[in-house]
Amino acid sequence: MQLLKGKSVLITGGTAGIGKEIALLFAEQGASVAIFGTNRERAEQVLSEIQAKSEPVQKNAFFLVDVSKTKEVEQAIQTILAQWGSLDVLVNNAGITRDTLLMRMSEEDWDTVINTNLKSVYNTCKVLCRSMMKSRSGSIINITSVIGLMGNAGQTNYAASKAGMIGFTKSLAKELASRGVRANCIAPGYIETQMTKALPEDVTIQVLAKIPLQRMGQPRDIAHAALYLASDLSSYVTGQVLTVDGGMVM
């Protein structure tokens, strides 16, 4: 049984890592998938992989969008709504790090991370929530991080953006629940992607020692959690943070 048959989804940052894995799994599960990213070459490659997993009835699309830019996001979402009629699921996954201690952090490092990770969530939800409320259904999934729950030296900007997403999601869940729209977060632990490949080896060893399940997560671990929150399997779940981290934060 396909859990997302006939649904249409938008995944920001669907061109790599966790977002790409969510896009592929959702396509396998019958959804029409739109992805946002800024790298055209990677996006075209991912789009052809998505098409290979799709039935002919599934419409898939890529939009060259910087999620921190309000106008770009608005135009792309309006185009999808005009062409597809509705979007049933929104996954706010696009995210970046600019790690350094606060005393060395430039205003640009602060603004870029906050705008890409947090303002982007305002940008997408603001445009899409009206259409979801009209449909009286929808699932919004925001990919936060365990760092937003516990903080981390060298990541004040990233932790603030991810903690902000949690407060935003809980508030939005309360605003939209009566209209049948759900909003939840996934807080991944350490997942093997380009983002974590950038970590020095000694940091990776220290992190692994703190994970009860004794391994880094895979993008598919997060995609499975996203599938649960996107599908009707979670129809009584809203305003929650689902931590997927091998037991690191309990």
Catalytic residues: 158
Q: Does 25 bind ligand NDP (CB under 6 A)?
A: no
- Find the shortest distance in angstroms from Cβ 208 to ligand NDP: 12
Contact with ligand NDP (CB under 6 A): which of 36, 62, 63, 168? 36
30 part of the interface to ligand NDP, by CB under 6 A = no
Least Å distance, CB 140 to ligand NDP, is 14
Nearest to ligand NDP of 94, 141 (CB atom): 94
Could you tell me the smallest distance in angstroms from the CB atom of residue 214 to ligand NDP?
16
Q: Is 178 in the site for ligand NDP (CB under 6 A)?
A: no
- Residue (2 or 39) nearer to ligand NDP, CB: 39
Question: 30 or 95, CB closer to ligand NDP?
Answer: 95
Radius of gyration of the chain (CA): 17
**Per CB under 6 A, does 68 bind ligand NDP?**
yes
**Minimum CB separation from ligand NDP for residue 185, in Å?**
10
Nearer to ligand NDP, 19 or 138 (CB): 19
Contact predicate 145/162, CB 8 Å: yes
Residue 187 zone, left/alpha/beta (φ > 0; ψ -120 to 50; rest): beta
Q: Any contact of residue 106 with ligand NDP (CB under 6 A)?
A: no
What single string gives the DSSP state of each residue in the chain? --TTTT-EEEEETTTSHHHHHHHHHHHHTT-EEEEEES-HHHHHHHHHHHHHHS-TT---EEEE--TT-HHHHHHHHHHHHHHHS---EEEE---------GGG--HHHHHHHHIIIIIHHHHHHHHHHHHHHHHT-EEEEEE--HHHHH--TT-HHHHHHHHHHHHHHHHHHHHHGGGTEEEEEEEE-SB-SHHHHTS-HHHHHHHHTT-TT-S-B-HHHHHHHHHHHHSGGGTT--S-EEEESTTS--
* Binding track over 4-23 against ligand NDP, x by CB under 6 A: --------xx-xxxxx----
For residue 13, give the nearest of 67, 70, 71 by alpha carbon: 67
Task: Yes or no: say if 128 and 87 are a contact pair by the CB < 8 Å rule.
Answer: yes
| Interface size with ligand NDP, residues (CB under 6 A) | 30
Residue 193 binds to ligand NDP (criterion: CB under 6 A):
yes
* Part of the chain binding ligand NDP (CB under 6 A), chosen from 76-84, 131-139, 169-177, 194-202: 194-202
Among the listed residues 116, 139, 155, 184, the single contact to ligand NDP using CB under 6 A: 116
| Interface with ligand NDP (CB under 6 A) | 12-13, 15-19, 36-39, 42, 65-68, 93-96, 116, 143, 145, 188, 190-191, 193-196
